Chains A and B, each alone.
Chain A
Amino acid sequence: MKAVKEEPNALGIETVDPDEVKQTLLAKVPTKVARKRAKQIVINKTGEDPEVPEIGANTRTIPGIITQRGCTYAGCKGVILGPTRDIVNITHGPIGCGFYSWLTRRNQTRPAGPDDYNFMTYCFSTDMQESDIVFGGEKKLRTAIQEAYDLFKPKAISIFSTCPVGLIGDDVHSVAREMKEKLGINVFAFSCEGYKGVSQSAGHHIANNGIFTHVVGLDDAVKGGKYRINLLGEYNIGGDAFEIDRILEDCGITVVSTFSGNSSYDEFANAHTADLNTIMCHRSINYVAEMMETKFGIPWIKINFLGAKACAKSLRKIARYFEDAELIERVEEVIARELPEVEKVAEEVSRRCEGKRAMLFVGGSRAHHYQELFAEIGMKTICAGYEFAHRDDYEGRKVLPFLKVDADSRNIEELEVHADPERYRPRKTAEDMERLQSEGFRFKDYDGMMPEMMKNTLVIDDISQHETEKLLEIYKPDVFCAGIKEKFAVQKSGIPMKQLHSYDSGGPYAGFRGAVNFYREIDRMVNSKVWKYIKAPWQESPELTARYACD
């Protein structure tokens, strides 16, 4: 079997030669740039070797090229820690970095009660001034931590370093230790200076390492629930995690912690008591699952709740893991109850969307998972790519042993993790794991995006503004998915644009109800009449102008 999907004439883009498109994208850029970009622009087809081609990913963006990517700090503070409501996050640096990451992502949170903390609407910063840059900012940081503590008495305070901090050599970790001692609450710091990594992905890693080191495992109490899982890499944009929680709860599955949507400090502290780790966004968190397995004996599986079918499949996979007839039956009941309604809408919407074409350039897993939703309403994904993913997210985990370590990846500390002498408890015996695997169950597995895409689709890593414009010109897709930075440029080209970071204030799109929301939203967008007004009547038919002129 070939690794990519082949279905002749299925894309509706047969007149476009992907090789030519690639050449067009690379034309008129300096040779060195072209050489680098050529590796990151790949035509999804297999040759002699049945595997998908290699793609360049997780390499630095070329200076002067308008990228979608953010910085390490953005990944650390904005993405991973941002959605955790009860940790006071202090940005150590000048004001901008903190300001720009102030409640800009649409993660939702639901405090447990009126007394529960919610600091997500706050933006704490040391707001460094010239004298702090010259004489060091540690003193100010200490005061800031004290002030935050005095004001809010939180359970935990975390500190995020921005670019200047690393350069002037502030030791944020020692300040954190000192204040932890002094205040008697958990205080920890992240060296997530923006320049450190290639993209926000580096920041995810630094953040997750930090949570793993400083928080996970602090609370050993095993709370209720028969089937206890963690949901990793789910950020609750637009309430996705709420919908997933609803379904899981219905199935009788307990979510011990979510990393990190609607998340809380206590959940992180207790995460190691779960019996299974399930991964939504492979990119931002697979290493945490690995570490939890090594240290605590919790196996992990890849799941995906985007797309009704994928959702059903994921539920079955979880039930299969627990090997419990009662759970398996319950999951089937839930699916049988939820799915027909979703399918009914899918069918209705397909009548208007069938055959339309989508492009997705976003995130580190979304560009993959949302293809499921499009497919369910008969739409084709013709080009896709990630903003900050690595090769394994494109080609699958099989490439992991071959990934090159460079100066940037070396920058991110790899934690050395060992089995916890007291708390390591394999959730399944080696025999059980093997048996399950021999029956086709797959642990720690992710095949990546490319094998699931059609032949001759274009896969582009870290797409630039310029390349985006070219693609729109050539393919004229029916919908383009990315983030807010791309939104208005795409719409100015007359193409509907769906934001898959903030959901354009919509959502949820995960789970069964989410799927329905998404179908309806895409239906609205690709069938909107607004685009036809762009050209005025006299632009459409020049004779009109002539007539008016004669009048």
Chain B
Amino acid sequence: MGKPAKSYVSTTNACKLCKPLGACLAFKGIEGAVPYLHGSQGCATYMRRYIISHFREPMDIASSSLGEKHAIYGGGPNLKLGLKNVITKYDCRLVGIATTCLTETIGDDTPMYLNEFRREFKDLLDSHDSPELVSVSTPSYSGTHMEGFHEALRAVVDQISRSGPRHSRITIMPGFVSPADTRYLKEIIGDFGMSATIFPDISTSLDGVAAVVYEKLASGGVPLSEIREMGASPASLEFGRTLDKAHTAAGLLENDYHIPCYSLGTPVGLRETDRFFETLSSLSHSPIPEKHEMERGRLIDAYVDAHKYSFGVRAVVYGEEDLVVGLTSFLAEIGVKVVLCASGGESGRLKEAVGSVTTDLLSEPPIVVEGVDFHEIAEIAERLHPDILIGNSKGYHLARRWGVPFVRVGFPIHDRFGGQRILHLGYRGAQSLLDGIVNAVIETRQEASDIGYTYY
């Protein structure tokens, strides 16, 4: 199911990033957390560089800086020394330790080292207000940054959350969405009069304000107290149709703490957003706030207005699997003919998920491929004569080669400004995606016109 006929053994221009990067992003959404890679320093430097170029924000990732000697004799001593330095310097609330290919290959037992550390450095931990140490195994030779992201969240819940008296704060795991998306989710929750933990919350930690005094640890993120209490949350909502609950935080909460888990599609476009709002409405026993009703109404109005531009446009969509599903659902609503859905991820569920959001709208389902790279995407797409490309910056060369408009969404966006502020979710996100896509289409027509009309 969903497995493409992969035509190459090697990967040319990958459409995925590596696992610990996703883990670092997830940790960054926790208040007072420092991501830490157990491995050699290059991985941390590379990932910092990558994350920073998208968000244009500081991103510290510590490393145990292993050398050849440690690769042979084990990285325990360096891990401990590194932790000691991080805790001393940052006064952090949590250190999120992700392993790398190196430490996974040599088989370092990270949880064991951490237990030793907790014993050996008890005084240090005590004198720094006992920061949490969470570890997650993230070998990049199995899985992409998205698996790393979800595994990290799961590890945090597994190692920190506790049961307790039920409270009223629901938990929302939106997946890897932008800071702007996260802020918007908070607004929606507030408008419903509910309280929620959005986990992770990178809305401030990766899109902060210009400050007079530099904060060593960016503010924002989910407070540890809320993470602890997730085990007593009334419900959790998890976005992503390709997720497997056996590997997600909400799955763990359901399994270990019997917290009802609402698995929803990433709410991109009208119908997936409707499902999300309905869920909130039923959980809060309150109607959809008028403000959002209005936004929904305006969105549909715009759908109607846009139809003459968007209908029949042939699109190629790529990126993280759940984003691709959401985008495809939305594009189908506005009459765009998605010809290819592609991802470097390989959940085995992409095809089914795309099918479930498009069957009632598309006469012909798009081709869906998993585990592919941009070279393979190009080979397939070229036969399909796309009119538009939708995805992260890494597809730019294809759009350029084909001479088609390119709408940037998701991560990484390092050839445009404001990637962290792109809104994908909800009625409002759909509105802004719609405007962007329609304008890209108009711009192309206008450029191609000999006359240079100014009415479209």
Residue contact A65 to B101, C-beta cutoff 8 Å: no
Of the candidates A124, A147, A164, A483, the one having the most CB atoms from chain B within 10 angstroms of its own CB is A164
Residue contact B10 to A95, C-beta cutoff 8 Å: no
User: What is the CA–CA distance of A291 and B19 in the complex, to the nearest angstrom?
Assistant: 41
Cβ of A469 to closest chain B Cβ, rounded Å? 6
Residue contact B85 to A143, C-beta cutoff 8 Å: no
Residue contact B42 to A97, C-beta cutoff 8 Å: yes
Which residues in B have their C-beta under 8 angstroms from that of A93? 101
B8 within 8 A of A: yes
A70 and B14 in contact, given A121-B397, A129-B142 (Cβ under 8 angstroms): no
Partner of A407 from the list B21, B65, B68 (CB cut-off 8 Å) is B68
Count of A residues near B, CB < 8 Å? 80
User: What is the CA–CA distance of A503 and B215 in the complex, to the nearest angstrom?
Assistant: 26
A356 within 8 A of B: no
Which of B174-182, B205-213, B220-228, B316-324 is found at the contact surface with chain A?
A: B205-213
User: What is the CA–CA distance of A534 and B82 in the complex, to the nearest angstrom?
Assistant: 35
B455 within 8 A of A: no
B279 within 8 A of A: no
For A123, give the chain B residue with the smallest CB separation. Answer: B13
Partner of A147 from the list B10, B52, B79, B212 (CB cut-off 8 Å) is B10
A60 and B67 in contact, given A121-B397, A195-B40, A492-B210 (Cβ under 8 angstroms): yes
Q: Per-position contact with B for A54-84: 1 when CB-CB < 8 Å, else 0?
A: 0000001111111111111110000000000
Residue contact A164 to B101, C-beta cutoff 8 Å: yes
A104 within 8 A of B: yes
A343 within 8 A of B: no
Which residues in A have their C-beta under 8 angstroms from that of B48? 485
Which residues in A have their C-beta under 8 angstroms from that of B81? 62-64
A29 and B88 in contact, given A74-B46, A94-B140, A168-B105 (Cβ under 8 angstroms): yes
For A102, give the chain B residue with the smallest CB separation. Answer: B13
Residue contact B84 to A488, C-beta cutoff 8 Å: no
Cβ of B379 to closest chain A Cβ, rounded Å? 10
Residue contact A30 to B84, C-beta cutoff 8 Å: yes
Residue contact A62 to B42, C-beta cutoff 8 Å: no
B151 within 8 A of A: no
User: What is the CA–CA distance of A62 and B78 in the complex, to the nearest angstrom?
Assistant: 9
Partner of B85 from the list A30, A104, A163, A194 (CB cut-off 8 Å) is A30
Beta-carbon contacts under 8 Å, B25-69 to A: 36, 39-43, 45-50, 52-53, 56-69
Residue contact B216 to A469, C-beta cutoff 8 Å: yes
Cβ of B231 to closest chain A Cβ, rounded Å? 30
Residue contact A64 to B208, C-beta cutoff 8 Å: no
A492 and B47 in contact, given A29-B88, A163-B102, A534-B211 (Cβ under 8 angstroms): no
B325 within 8 A of A: no
A130 within 8 A of B: yes
Residue contact B63 to A63, C-beta cutoff 8 Å: yes
Cβ of B102 to closest chain A Cβ, rounded Å? 4
Cβ of B68 to closest chain A Cβ, rounded Å? 5
B141 within 8 A of A: yes
Beta-carbon contacts under 8 Å, B183-237 to A: 208, 210-216
Cβ of B348 to closest chain A Cβ, rounded Å? 15
Which residues in A have their C-beta under 8 angstroms from that of B142? 129-130
Which residues in A have their C-beta under 8 angstroms from that of B88? 28-30
Cβ of A36 to closest chain B Cβ, rounded Å? 11
Count of B residues near A, CB < 8 Å? 73
User: What is the CA–CA distance of A257 and B212 in the complex, to the nearest angstrom?
Assistant: 48
Q: Per-position contact with B for A129-171: 1 when CB-CB < 8 Å, else 0?
A: 1101100000010011001100100000000001110111000
For A472, give the chain B residue with the smallest CB separation. Answer: B214
B150 within 8 A of A: no
Which residues in B have their C-beta under 8 angstroms from that of A98? 11, 14
B156 within 8 A of A: no
Partner of B45 from the list A69, A102, A132, A539 (CB cut-off 8 Å) is A69
Cβ of B411 to closest chain A Cβ, rounded Å? 12
Partner of B141 from the list A133, A193, A198, A411 (CB cut-off 8 Å) is A133
Cβ of A466 to closest chain B Cβ, rounded Å? 6
Of the candidates B8, B46, B69, the one having the most CB atoms from chain A within 10 angstroms of its own CB is B46
User: What is the CA–CA distance of A1 and B50 in the complex, to the nearest angstrom?
Assistant: 47
Q: Per-position contact with B for A181-201: 1 when CB-CB < 8 Å, else 0?
A: 000000000000111101000
A487 within 8 A of B: yes
Residue contact B41 to A144, C-beta cutoff 8 Å: no
A408 within 8 A of B: yes
Of the candidates A67, A99, A484, the one having the most CB atoms from chain B within 10 angstroms of its own CB is A99
A128 and B8 in contact, given A123-B13, A407-B68, A484-B53 (Cβ under 8 angstroms): no
Beta-carbon contacts under 8 Å, A204-253 to B: none
Residue contact B67 to A29, C-beta cutoff 8 Å: no
Residue contact B18 to A195, C-beta cutoff 8 Å: no
The interface of chain A, by Cβ under 8 A from chain B, is 28-30, 33, 60-74, 90, 93-102, 104, 121-130, 132-133, 140, 143-144, 147-148, 151, 162-164, 166-168, 193-196, 198, 407-408, 411, 465-466, 469, 472, 483-485, 487-489, 491-494, 534-535, 539
The interface of chain B, by Cβ under 8 A from chain A, is 8-14, 16-21, 36, 39-43, 45-50, 52-53, 56-71, 78-79, 81-86, 88-89, 100-102, 105-106, 139-142, 144, 208, 210-216, 373, 397
Closest 4 CB pairs of A and B: A71-B42, A96-B18, A63-B82, A64-B85
Known: A60-B67, A70-B42, A95-B17. 10 other contacts (CB 8 A): A30-B85, A33-B85, A64-B64, A96-B19, A123-B12, A127-B373, A129-B142, A144-B9, A484-B52, A493-B213
